[in-house]
Amino acid sequence: MEHRSSRPIVVEKRRPYDLAQHAIRRPLPPPRRPGRRRFVLKAMSQLAGLRCLILIALVAADELHLTTDDEGYLTVIQGFATQLHCVLNTCSPNVVWSKDEVMIFNGTSFVKSPSIDEKSFKLHHKVEVDFEKGCTSQCDDSTPCPEGSSCVDNQCCTCSKEEFTLILRNLTFEDSGRYKCQIANQSEQLEFQVEVLESGLKGGFHENISYDHSECCQEKGISPLCRAMCKPSEMAEHHFDPTSCKTDDYKNFLYCATENGTRSHIHCCKTQLVPSFCYDFCSGDFKMLRRAHRLCLYYLPEIFDCYNRAYRMLVNPPLEHFRSRDSVPVTQFSWNQSPKPL
């Protein structure tokens, strides 16, 4: 008999150097899936003078196990957001999230603690049901389903997987630490080391940015890591890592932010004292991502504000139009401020 036991999955990397030099990240392989128990039965038989060896392999039913596509070591940027993915191969109410051994979520319920700020965390929970295996007993709030099934339309249906995605919002240095997704009372777990890097950006700078190019960005196929800049008002809810965005991501985003490349924001960027090497992000003529562009991260609020000014003028036509009756023609326009996004 051969038996392979599940062990905690821990993947770590050395701490990268500072943001201005941009951390060099080598992708880590996804955590290994724990082995399944396998029983091998050997039988010897004599048939027509031939000796036969019969191997019968019996694989035990899947045990509970967790998987993720994320790296074990994440460097994220102050003021933005990130997500930690944890996927269970079935359904269970016993999955917990913790930070530095302090529980954050028990199942889908937040666990209050003096050292944990509830506003900094959000849990995205999703269940995929295997309808081919059918649904059985009745269920409601007072009668939960057994492990391995989920309540759908008051029926217990077999689960194919359950996702517990922890969202860290408006990142601060206090959010650095070791996060763990674990099946309670079992050794099965995933660990993530999160390090928050200084950005110099004021927290919440994106909240008053109302432009929305998300539909265009989706059509252009911008990476999910970069899509938050298409609608900054929701940046605190989604992972955003501008240091991981590629040349094509910025090209496609600027295509959307400059009305298909027909509008330039360079004059606005000049008035906002954005350095000249960042003007590439102020027009639709983006050529190539260069090393100096990493410093443009510090000017994101000013650059985003220029996008926003042009967007407000597009979505809000002028309310009043005055034309002077003097000999020198003068035309004046006035706009109302765009309402804050919901």
Q: Using the CB atoms, write b or e for 64-85: b if 16+ within 10 Å.
A: bbbbbebbbbbbbbbbbbbbbb
- The reported pLDDT for the residue numbered 66 is 92
Q: Does residue 258 share a domain with residue 164? A: no
Q: Does residue 218 share a domain with residue 176? A: no
How far is Cα 102 from Cα 83, in angstroms, rounded to an integer?
Answer: 18
**For residue 331, what are its two tokens?**
């035309």
Tell me the pTM: 0.58
Choose the final residue of a domain: 197, 231, 260: 197
**Number of independent structural domains in the chain:** 2
Q: Does residue 259 share a domain with residue 187? A: no
| Residue 122 placed within a domain | yes
How far is Cα 293 from Cα 188, in angstroms, rounded to an integer?
Answer: 42
Choose the final residue of a domain: 146, 163, 197: 197
Q: Does residue 149 share a domain with residue 242? A: no
Q: Using the CB atoms, write b or e for 179-211: b if 16+ within 10 Å.
A: bbbbbeeeebbbbbbbebbebebeeebbebbbb
Determine what percent of the chain is predicted with pLDDT higher than 90.
26
**Cβ contact 192:70 at 8 Å:** yes
Q: Does residue 158 share a domain with residue 71? A: yes
Q: Does residue 170 share a domain with residue 100? A: yes
- The range of the structural domain enclosing residue 290 comes to 213-315
| Residue 38 placed within a domain | no
Q: Does residue 187 share a domain with residue 79? A: yes
| Residue 136 placed within a domain | yes
Mean pLDDT across 24-33: 43
The enclosing domain of 140 has a CATH number of 2.60.40.10
Q: How confident is the model at residue 111 (pLDDT cuts 50, 70, 90)?
A: very high
Q: If you ran DSSP here, which 8-state letter would residue 273 be given?
A: T
| Residue 258 placed within a domain | yes
| Residue 72 placed within a domain | yes
Q: Does residue 168 share a domain with residue 291? A: no
Per-residue pLDDT reduced to its tens digit, 158-173: 999 999 999 998 788 8
| Residue 166 placed within a domain | yes
How far is Cα 341 from Cα 230, in angstroms, rounded to an integer?
Answer: 14
| Residue 176 placed within a domain | yes
Q: Does residue 260 share a domain with residue 152? A: no
Element (DSSP H or E) covering residue 87: strand 87-88
- The reported pLDDT for the residue numbered 252 is 92
Per-residue pLDDT reduced to its tens digit, 266-317: 999 999 999 999 999 998 888 888 888 878 888 888 999 999 888 876 555 4
How far is Cα 278 from Cα 269, in angstroms, rounded to an integer?
Answer: 9
- The reported pLDDT for the residue numbered 336 is 52
| Residue 15 placed within a domain | no
Query: Which one is predicted more confidently, 189 or 70?
Result: 189
Half-sphere exposure of 32 (CA within 13 A, CB side): 10
**Cβ contact 150:128 at 8 Å:** no
Q: Does residue 234 share a domain with residue 113? A: no
Q: Does residue 179 share a domain with residue 73? A: yes
The amino acid at residue 219 is: E
Choose the final residue of a domain: 197, 224, 253: 197
